[in-house]
Amino acid sequence: MSTEATLLERCGSACELCSATSPLQPFVVAPHTQVTVDHAIMLCDTCREQIENPETADANHWRCLNDSMWSQVPPVQVAAWRQLKRLSESEGWAQDLVDMMYMEEDVAKWAEIGMDEDGQKHVDCNGAELKKGDDVTIIKDLPVKGSSMVVKQGTVVRNIGLAQDDPDLFSGKVEGQSIWLRCEFSRKK
C-alpha cells in the first residue's frame, strides 16, 4: 500500500484537522521534508492554504481544532498545536485550547521546533519575506559550486521553493537545472 493510501485510510478520507471531505493532499509537518506516515497529515485545500499563508487565516475555521487537537497521531497534534499557538496571540479561545492540550515530550519538542518565533524566515536582500511560489531576481553574478555555470545578475527565478531547515536557502530552476540559492542574493518581484 502506498504512503498516500495509508494516510487516507488513517484519516478516513477526511481532513485530519477540519474533517472536510473535499480533495485531500499529504502535507509534511516541518522540519521533516519527506512524505511518510509518521511525518505527514492529509489536509484539505482550505487548511493547507491557511497554514502556508498564515496572514490569510480565518480564525473561525480553526475552531475545528477543538476536536482534532485530541488526535493520537503525533503529526496531527503538532499541526494543531502550531495553529492554536499562532491564533492564541489574538484569540482567547485558542489560548484556552493550548493550555488544555497534552503532548508527549518528544512531540512537544517537534511542535516547538517548527514555530517561527525566533524570526527564522526566508527574506530577500531588502528584508521582504519570501514565500513558496514567489518569483525573485538575482542581484549579483553567482557561480554555482561544482559546475562552470554562473547565475547572472538580473536572472529571474520563478516559482521558488523554500528550504524547510535553512531560512537562508531557496530552490529554483535556472537554465533548466534545479539549484539552491541564497536568499540574500535575491530580490522579490
- Convert 7-24 into a string of H (helix), E (strand) and C (coil): HHHHHCCCCCCCCCCCCE
pLDDT of residue 159: 95
Q: Is the pTM of this model over 0.75?
A: no
Which residues neighbour 9 within 8 Å (Cβ) at sequence distance 6 or greater?
1
Tell me how far apart the alpha carbons of residues 135 and 173 are, in angstroms, rounded to a whole number.
11
Report the alpha-carbon angle 55-57-61, nearest 5: 175
* Domain edges within the chain: 3-114, 136-188
* Cβ neighbourhood burial of 125 (10 Å; 0-12, 13-18, 19+): middle
Per-residue pLDDT of the chain (189 residues; tens, 9 = 90+): 789 999 999 999 999 999 999 899 999 998 888 889 999 999 999 999 999 888 888 999 999 999 999 999 999 999 999 999 999 988 999 999 999 999 999 999 998 886 654 456 889 998 888 999 999 999 999 999 888 999 999 999 999 999 877 889 999 999 999 999 999 999 998
- Write down the CATH superfamily of domain 136-188: SH3 Domains (2.30.30.40)
CB-CB contact of 12 with 29 (8 Å): no
Amino acid letter for position 65: L
CA distance 124 to 121: 10
Q: Which cell is 17 given?
A: 484537522
